[in-house]
Amino acid sequence: MGARKTVGHRCSMVAIAALLIAGAAVAAPLPPALQQAVSRGAYIFNDDSFGSHVKPVADAASAFATLGGAPHGGPRFMTCAVCHIHGGLVRGRLPDGRRFASLRNAAAVFPRYNVKSHRVMTLEAQIRHCVRDGIVGRPPAYGSASMVDLVSYLKSIAAGQRIAIGGPTH
Ligand code: HEC
């Protein structure tokens, strides 16, 4: 009896392993609610100014056109997308032209240690920092709907990136 039980147990382990491998090979479609969070996150990333009244530059529309082009002439006020161009998929560009890393693998390397602030920064803390200092708006609260949506969006663009806590962004 005991031996048979062990065999049964092993079989189910093999079945579970097979399922896991199959699951990893073919990414299952996201549940609708999660897909909606990702889409809302992309919308917030491109269009939300978090109450800021800071214009990207004097002439936002033409500046945004220079920054890689946007439909509808670009945002009136700062958004994530003003600096993290093309949804964060390519290297960022500050309004003054300086370039920096893309957000492609950001969700895979946070949390990180921030030397300047002497603290471990989560992805959420970084988002709040960018809203406060980059957009000059009201940062979304931890656990708020906007934060959940933005994290979902950033995780979605990092799909398949190597998890490397504290690692560099590229
Ligand atoms: C004024 C330009 C600007 C805006 C607007 C901005 N960011 Fe950033 N962001 C940066 C810069 C520059 C860095 C990299 C250096 C740093 O840590 O400050 C960065 C870093 C990040 C990182 C970490 C990736 C890394 O390489 O360190 C994430 C995640 C991020 N931003 C998300 C956002 C989100 C989400 C928004 C909108 C809510 C946003 N940012 C708005 C300029 C901006």
How far from chain centre, in Å, is Cα 98? 21
Task: For residues 84-95, give the mean pLDDT.
Answer: 94
What are the tokens at 62? 């033409």
pLDDT-derived band at 19 (thresholds 50, 70, 90) equals very low
Cα–Cα distance for residue pair 136/129, rounded to 1 Å = 9
Asked whether the beta carbons of 65 and 74 are under 8 A apart, the reply is yes
Cα–Cα distance for residue pair 45/64, rounded to 1 Å = 15
Q: How far is the CA of 82 from the centre of ligand 1 (A)?
A: 10
Asked whether the beta carbons of 104 and 170 are under 8 A apart, the reply is yes
Q: Which is higher by pLDDT, 5 or 91? A: 91
Q: How far is the CA of 1 from the centre of ligand 1 (A)?
A: 60
* pLDDT at position 154 over 90: yes
Closest protein CA for atom 14 of ligand 1: 100
Asked whether the beta carbons of 41 and 153 are under 8 A apart, the reply is yes
Closest protein CA for atom 13 of ligand 1: 100
Closest protein CA for atom 1 of ligand 1: 134
Ligand 1 pocket test: which of 103, 130, 135 has the largest number of ligand atoms within 8 Å of its C-beta? Answer: 130
Cα–Cα distance for residue pair 9/120, rounded to 1 Å = 42
What are the tokens at 14? 């093999």
* pLDDT at position 3 over 80: no
pLDDT-derived band at 96 (thresholds 50, 70, 90) equals confident
Q: What's the full length of the chain, in residues?
A: 170
Does 38 contact ligand 1 (Cβ within 6 A)?
no
Does 83 contact ligand 1 (Cβ within 6 A)?
yes
Q: Peptide bond preceding 111: is omega within 30 degrees of 0, i.e. cis?
A: yes
Cα–Cα distance for residue pair 11/141, rounded to 1 Å = 47
Does 60 contact ligand 1 (Cβ within 6 A)?
no
